[in-house]
Chain A
Amino acid sequence: MEEILRGLGISENTISQMEELCPNIKELSKEEIEKKIEKLKEMKCDDIQVRNIISSNAIYLDRSVTDVDKLINTMKDLGFDNLNILLDGNPYILNLDDFEIKNYITKREEKGELLEDIVDDMSTNPFLFEEI
Chain B
Amino acid sequence: MEELKKIFKEIGYTEEEMNEIINDHGIRSFKPETLLENVKRNYSFFLSIGYSREDVIKMTKTFPVIYGLSIDTIKQKIEDMEKLGYSKEDVIKMTKSFPTIYGYSIDNMKQKIEDMEELGYSKEDVIKMTKTLPAIYGYSIDNMKQKIEDIEKLGYSKEDVIKMTKSLPQIYGLSIDNIKQKIEDIKKLGYNREDVIKMTKICPTIYSYSIDNMKQKIEDIEKLGYSKEDVIKMTKTLPAIYGYNIDNIRQKIEDMEKLGYSKEDVIKMTKTLPAIYSLSIDNMKQKIEDMEKLGYSKEDVIKMTKTLPQIYGLSIDNMKQKIEDIEKLGYSKEDVIKMTKTSPQIYGLSIDNMKQKIEDIEKLGYSKEDVIKMTKTLPAMYNYSIDNIKQKIEFYDSIDLHSLAIVDAKQLMQSTSLSYARYMYYKDIGINIDETNYRKLFMGQKQFEQQYGITKEELLARYDYQEYMRKKNTQDLGQEVVDVLENTEYLEDTEETIGAHEKDETSQSSENQSK
Contacts and interface: CB of A to CB of B under 8 A. Distances in A.
Nearest to B267: A97
A92 B348 contact: no
A28 B417 CA distance: 30
Interface range, A side: 35 or more
B229 A66 contact: yes
Looking at chain B's contact residues, the main secondary structure is helix
A11 B414 contact: no
A1 B417 CA distance: 28
Looking at chain A's contact residues, the main secondary structure is helix
A10 to B, nearest CB: 7
A43 B388 CA distance: 19
A74 to B, nearest CB: 13
A115 to B, nearest CB: 12
A82 B307 contact: no
B343 A130 contact: yes
A117 B446 contact: yes
Interface residues of B, number: 46
Interface in A92-107: 92, 95, 97, 99-100
B512 interface: no
Interface in B80-98: none
Nearest to A86: B415
Given A20-B350, A46-B466, A130-B343, A9 B387 contact: yes
B417 A20 contact: no
Interface in A105-124: 116-117, 120-121, 123-124
Given A46-B466, A89-B414, A66 B387 contact: no
B116 interface: no
Contacts of B229: 64-66
Interface string B443-460: 111100000000011001
Contact of A88 (B342, B416, B469): B416
B415 A89 contact: yes
B300 interface: no
B119 interface: no
Contacts of A127: 378, 380, 410, 413
A80 to B, nearest CB: 11
B104 interface: no
Interface of B: 227, 229-230, 233, 236-237, 264, 268, 271-272, 307, 342-343, 345, 348-350, 353, 356, 378, 380, 383-388, 391, 410, 413-418, 442-446, 456-457, 460, 465-466, 469
13 contacts: A10-B385, A13-B386, A14-B386, A20-B349, A20-B353, A46-B465, A52-B391, A64-B271, A92-B380, A95-B307, A120-B445, A124-B444, A127-B410
